[in-house]
Amino acid sequence: MSTGTYSPRPGAAPVGRMIAAQAALETRMLLRNGEQLLLTVVIPSLLLVLFSTVDVVDTGAEKAVDFLAPGVLALAVMSTAFTGQAIATGFERRYGVLKRLGASPLPRWALMTAKTLSVLVTEVFQIALLTVIAFALGWSPQGGPLPVALLLVLGTAAFSGLGLLMAGTLRAEATLAAANLVFLLLLVGGGVVVPLEKFPDAARGVLELLPISALSGGLRDVLQGGAGMPWGDALVLAVWAVLGLGAAARFFRWE
Amino acid sequence: MREKSVDTAVRVRGLVKRYGNRTAVDGLDLDVRTGTVTAVLGPNGAGKTTTVETCEGYRRADAGTVRVLGLDPVADAAALRPRIGVMLQSGGVYSGARAEEMLRHMAKLHAHPLDVDALIERLGLGSCGRTAYRRLSGGQQQRLALALAVVGRPELVFLDEPTAGLDPQARRATWDLVRELRADGVTTVLTTHFMQEAEELADDVAIVDAGRVVAQGSPEELCRGGAENTLRFTGRPGLDLGSLLKALPDGTAAAELTPGTYRISGDVDPQLLATVTTWCAQHGVMPEGIAVERHTLEDVFMELTGKELRG
């Protein structure tokens, strides 16, 4: 037995440790990225404060914050699971990070698990911050936590699938542009700050099927209306999740 | 046969890989003995990277067999990946990650990694520990990629052009590390288009051209081919080599490599040297920089492929 510095002693770390390390690294990368923070923290917070305190849009609610808080929570999920994840993963693919990790002991499923954990951890930060801001603005949420949690998880799955599909099929620059554009369009047309009732009936029927509308509408039914489980919205999100994740699994290119 | 699988770290037979209409690798055979350094030498586009990436499990062979540490790189990827170290030609690191952070992360993915601090020190990466990857110089990025390839204490490392773009000092440091890996029993496969790199480091050299191995052996074996030596000199361009060859023994070759640069190869002995200088004197040619050289890998490559290697 030679015992030099570099004498081979190969082996993978326990998979749990690998996933924890990968999730921690991905989360650090996200929090270090200024543009990502703008998207995930600054924009939702500003929208919540601005639209709650200035009468820009008639929300139809007694207190604007009761209408806005659920919408902004939905926006936060979209910003992290869809826009942020699509852009970050697109550039990881472009810079060969996914390729390099593919030759490491970390299995692909473990990498995807770590990415999901990183998204969930970021969402917990976002939701905590936005909840504090909303309470400061006089928010009085209704409903129970369980339907809210289920909607958030389904929304995360739906947006992750779409984000990864984009990141794994388009060029990184195209993903950057498209993910931001979609974010903006869904922010306006997805019932986040503008009630869907403001749109013509024909458009509204389509808009209601968007994942952002289902998430913001579902959260609003519970948190503003005190509903139980909004099954219709949950079903829309579940369909998007199955389609998006399925397509991503099928078409994602690692290089 | 069992013996063979123990002694052979990489065994490639009849590898074919096509991209659309283009055949990148065209029936390539390669053997890498355990514990040695093998250089895959060839010009850009010869199929070096495709071959190595097939061994790493990135690409599926269109035909032929590939066995790495006795495993199929695609089917047995989960078992193989912890045992190999990979240095890509470029990239592979989060643009916002710091060198030290990325290296510590890669260490965490392995069961018995090297000491990260010592490795950083060894590769002179101490000064860039806190710098984001995208702000590192090309040489620093290369050294980090090398560190990432070895930190997991692999049995076998694949280095794709490990010193491309490095200054001479950094190149030496990389060479020293490869020698240390070899001394400690790590098998190394490296691709290069630097002749000197292959000559300095490799136990075995596989010369690749147009997707095939055109020669494989130790640098000495390859250079011994025909026991020839080379005589080089420069003079005015366009000398009548036919007339020179008439004065030289059979089996001698003469070529004008670039205008005014001449190479005579064959059994270069004192008599032949005298004949050449006499011929030059008769033709009013001053043979500048005349030198008798050992047959180099570059010559071997040129004879095998008719091409100049970029050096």
Bridge partners, B37 (sequence order): B188
Q: Which residue of B has its CA nearest to A90?
A: B94
Residue from B56, B311, B44, B31 nearest B199 by CA: B311
Chain-centre distance of CA A248, in angstroms? Answer: 16
**Within chain B, how many helices (H) and strands (E) appear?**
12, 13
A175: left (phi over 0), alpha (psi -120 to 50) or beta: alpha
Q: Please tell me the distance from the alpha carbon of residue B107 to that of residue A58, in angstroms, as a whole number.
A: 55
Same domain, B185 and B256: no
- The answer to the question of residue A109 being in a domain is yes
Same domain, B216 and B239: no
Task: Please provide the size of chain A in residues.
Answer: 255
pTM for this prediction: 0.84
Bridge partners, B44 (sequence order): none
Least confident residue range of A144-148, A190-194, B23-27, B109-113: A190-194
Same domain, B276 and B180: no
Give Cα separations from B160 to B2, B91, B286 (angstroms). 29, 12, 44
Residue B138 makes CB contacts below 8 A (sequence gap 6+) with: B165, B166
Same domain, B160 and B122: yes
- Cα Rg for chain A, rounded, in angstroms? 20
Same domain, B50 and B155: yes
Mean pLDDT of A153-176: 96
Residue from B153, B231, B86 nearest A5 by CA: B153
Q: Is the model's pLDDT at A197 over the cut of 70?
A: yes
DSSP for A16-53, please give it.
HHHHHHHHHHHHHHHHH-HHHHIIIIIHHHHHHHHHHH
Mutation site for B-interface testing, chosen from A30, A89, A95, A100 by largest number of B Cβ within 10 Å: A100
Same domain, B113 and B261: no
- pLDDT value, residue B228: 65
At B193, give phi and psi (nearest 5°).
Answer: -115, 15
- The answer to the question of residue A163 being in a domain is yes
Q: Are β-strands B63-68 and B187-192 bridged in parallel, bridged antiparallel, or unpaired?
A: unpaired
Which residues on A lie below 8 Å from B54 (Cβ)? none
Domain that holds residue B285: 229-294
Mean pLDDT of A207-222: 96
- pLDDT value, residue A67: 93
Which residues on A lie below 8 Å from B185 (Cβ)? 2, 4, 6-8
Higher per-residue pLDDT: A135 or B305: A135
Specify the CATH number for the domain of residue B261: 3.30.70
* pLDDT per position as a tens digit, A21-48: 999 999 999 989 888 899 999 999 999 9
Same domain, B79 and B196: yes
DSSP for B248-311, please give it.
SPTT-EEEEEETTEEEEEE---HHHHHHHHHHHHHTT---EEEEEEEPPHHHHHHHHHS-PPP-
Residue from B197, B265, B227, B263 nearest B41 by CA: B197
Domain boundary residue, one of B220, B252, B279? B220
Domain count, chain B: 2
- pLDDT value, residue A233: 96
Domain count, chain A: 1
Q: Is the distance from CB of B51 to CB of B24 less than 8 angstroms?
A: no
Q: Are β-strands B22-33 and B37-41 bridged in parallel, bridged antiparallel, or unpaired?
A: unpaired
Specify the CATH number for the domain of residue B157: 3.40.50.300
- The answer to the question of residue B50 being in a domain is yes
- pLDDT value, residue B308: 62
- pLDDT value, residue A2: 52
Find the chain B residues whose C-beta atoms sit closer than 8 A to any C-beta of A. Answer: 56-58, 78, 81-84, 86, 88, 90-97, 101, 105-106, 108-112, 114, 118, 148, 150, 152-155, 180-181, 183-186
Bridge partners, B11 (sequence order): B31, B67
Chain-centre distance of CA A183, in angstroms? Answer: 11
Q: Please tell me the distance from the alpha carbon of residue A53 to that of residue A133, in angstroms, as a whole number.
A: 12
Domain that holds residue A218: 15-251
Domain boundary residue, one of B220, B249, B275? B220
Mutation site for A-interface testing, chosen from B19, B55, B109 by largest number of A Cβ within 10 Å: B109
* pLDDT per position as a tens digit, B224-267: 654 567 888 999 999 999 899 998 988 888 889 889 999 888 88
Give chain B's residues under pLDDT 50: 1-5, 226, 310-311
Q: Is the distance from CB of B233 to CB of B291 less than 8 angstroms?
A: yes
**Contact between chains at B114 and A13 (C-beta distance less than 8 A):** no
- The answer to the question of residue A4 being in a domain is no
* pLDDT per position as a tens digit, A44-88: 999 999 999 887 777 777 789 999 999 999 999 999 999 999 999
Which residues on B lie below 8 Å from A255 (Cβ)? 58
ipTM: 0.89
- The answer to the question of residue A1 being in a domain is no
- The answer to the question of residue B308 being in a domain is no
Q: Are β-strands B37-41 and B63-68 bridged in parallel, bridged antiparallel, or unpaired?
A: unpaired
* pLDDT per position as a tens digit, B156-185: 999 999 998 888 888 998 999 999 999 999
- pLDDT value, residue B3: 43
Helix (H) or strand (E) holding A156: helix A145-169
Q: Which of residues 77-136 of A touch B (CB under 8 A)?
A: 91-92, 95-97, 99-100, 102-107
Q: Which residue of A has its CA nearest to B97?
A: A29
Helix (H) or strand (E) holding B157: strand B156-160
Give Cα separations from B6 to A194, B3, B9 (angstroms). 69, 5, 7
Q: Angle at CA A192, nearest 5°, toward A190 and A196?
A: 55
